Structure 1
Amino acid sequence: MAKKGKDNKTKRISVPSAIPIRNKKHYTFIVSASPGPHPKNFSIPLAVLLRDELGVCSTQAEAKKIIKQKNVLVDGRVRTNHKFPVGFMDIIFIKKLNKYYRIEIIKGKLKAIEVKKTDVKYCRVTKKLTIKNKKISIGLHDGKTLIGDNNIKVGDTLKISIPEYKIIQLIKLQPGVNCIVYKGKHGGKFGKLEKIIEQRGSMASNVILRDEQNKELITSLNYIMAIDEEFFSKN
């Protein structure tokens, strides 16, 4: 009889390169992420984050216990599912450590970077729709939707309060703004947006960034997020 239902585990050797794993040869399998706000190939199951990335515990059983005891908050909300997927720009609070972390991209991998206490999250605008009563629905990279206005464009960044998810500030994607590349071969690099190169048809536009060494970096418009100076003040 054929197997039915979803897979609860993934072979460590086949884990997507963006997911940090201590040693892919140490165990045969790791837990698979549940369906959630981030795609499976670009998110870390909560138990894997605690064990392999943060080193809070040494086994999955210990990770599950910590999570079930409501010691982990994602974007200001308690998560008790050890398979919950955390992804780019999520804010993690570990009560056991009394520390905050932000999921960033370092050399193409998702990494938990310690930051000062924060109730703000950066979200990239991925969709914009007009809905009932002429309201503007804004779709964000983490799957959330908000009601915004026409001044917000796809590609812009919103600074959102957590856990309320209210708009605090709009960062326009325009020449001169600081950006982080979060996908592709340049994932994890920073630079100022110099120019947007429009493409014809359905092809995504490209952008030219200029890094601190004054080197030119060309990548897809869909691979960058606009940020502000406050992003760099982590401590």
Structure 2
Amino acid sequence: MLRNRLKYALTYREVVAIVMQRLISIDGKVRTDKCYPAGFMDVISIAKTNENFRLLYDNKGRFTLHNISAEEAKYKLCKVRSAQFGDKGVPHITTFDGRTIRYPDPLIKANDTVKINLETGKVVEFIKFDIGNIVMVTGGRNRGRIGVIQHREKHKGSFDIIHVTDSTGQQFATRMGNVFTVGQGTKPWITLPRGKGIKLSIVEEAKKRTQALKAAA
């Protein structure tokens, strides 16, 4: 990431030198492991440059480092994997980034999204996985696309299918496991990367490139 995306290092040895100075934080914790696996929605902070990034998908389904403000870097969104009772009847939820949170709001269920304060590790708010909420697709051929849930097809013994409409009116469908709720209604709780999750066709991309070349000439 430091070498290939941010271009802050030219070689592997330079990457090691940077992380060993304890300048890189992921989700509010300093990381010195040069191979630490950052994932979707993780917040990466660089102390020396006062920069903050959120790891998201672009509209082509590739990982992108989206620049965010210091205020937005204080929280992250996590998708709930399960909500259950543990030993001695203690309720807890587990998230897809490996967190276990005890005594959550009893209304939080699997596939909902929780907003976590990175300083305290506590749930601040949550979004129900429901029709009408804005989502980002995190898997499959539509990965990186953003839209609003229109309909949910339930299939017993198989995968539930979610139908989504993006801001241009295009409709697509994907498995429920590929969908991550990022906002209440049509308002996202995070800033979105360039492209706003709208997938262009090959012809539309060609036209866009031609217009950019004409504008630059």
TM-score, scaled relative to structure 1: 0.76
TM-superposed CA distance for 1:96, in Å, is 2.4
Where does residue 111 of structure 2 map in the other structure? Answer: 155
Distance in 2, matches of 1:193 and 1:133, equals: 37
Establish whether residue 119 from structure 1 lines up as the match of residue 74 from structure 2: yes
Q: 2:85 aligns with which of 98, 110, 130?
A: 130
Which residue number in structure 2 is paired with residue 62 of structure 1?
14
Question: Can you list the C-alpha shifts for 1:11-65, whole angstroms capped at 9, x where unaligned?
Answer: xxxxxxxxxxxxxxxxxxxxxxxxxxxxxxxxxxxxxx11111111111111111
Q: Could you tell me which amino acid in structure 2 is paired with residue 115 of structure 1?
A: I
Whole-angstrom distance in 2 between the partners of 1:60 and 1:144 = 30
Pair 1:166 & 2:122 matched: yes
Give the deviation of 1:135 after TM superposition: 2.1
The one-letter code matched in structure 2 to 1:119 is K
Secondary structure at the counterpart of residue 86 of structure 1? coil
- Structure 1 Cα separation of the partners of residues 93 and 3 of structure 2: 34
Whether the 8 Å contact between 2:68 and 2:191 is mirrored in structure 1 is no
Within a 5 Å distance, the mapping from 1:1-235 to structure 2 comes to 49-106=1-58, 107-117=60-70, 118-147=73-102, 148-201=104-157, 203-228=158-183, 229-232=188-191
SS in structure 1 opposite 2:2?
Answer: helix
**Residue 190 of structure 2 aligns to which amino acid in structure 1?**
F
- Give the deviation of 1:164 after TM superposition: 2.2
- The residue type paired with residue 78 of structure 2 is C
Distance 1:219 1:116 in 2: 31
Shift of 1:151: 0.7
CA–CA distance in structure 2, aligned partners of residues 55 and 163 of structure 1? 28
CA distance in 2, matches of 1:233, 1:83: 26
Aligned AA (2:107): N
Determine the C-alpha separation between the residues in 2 that align with 1:132 and 1:186.
39
CA contact (8 A) 1:191 1:212 kept: yes
C-alpha displacement of 1:133 = 3.2
Preserved CA contact (<8 Å) 1:136 1:149: no
Counterpart of 2:189 in 1: which secondary structure?
helix
Could you list the per-position Cα deviations for residues 147-195 of structure 1 after superposition, in whole angstroms to 9, with x for gaps in the alignment?
1133111110000000321001111110000000011111110000111
Distance 2:159 2:93 in 1: 20
Which letter maps to 1:64? Answer: V
Query: SS of 1:51's equivalent?
Result: coil
Structure 2, unpaired ranges of 5+: 194-217
Runs of 4+ in 1 over 6 A off after TM superposition: none
Q: Is the 8 A contact 1:156 1:226 kept in 2?
A: yes
Report the identity percentage. 26
Amino acid at match of 1:226: T
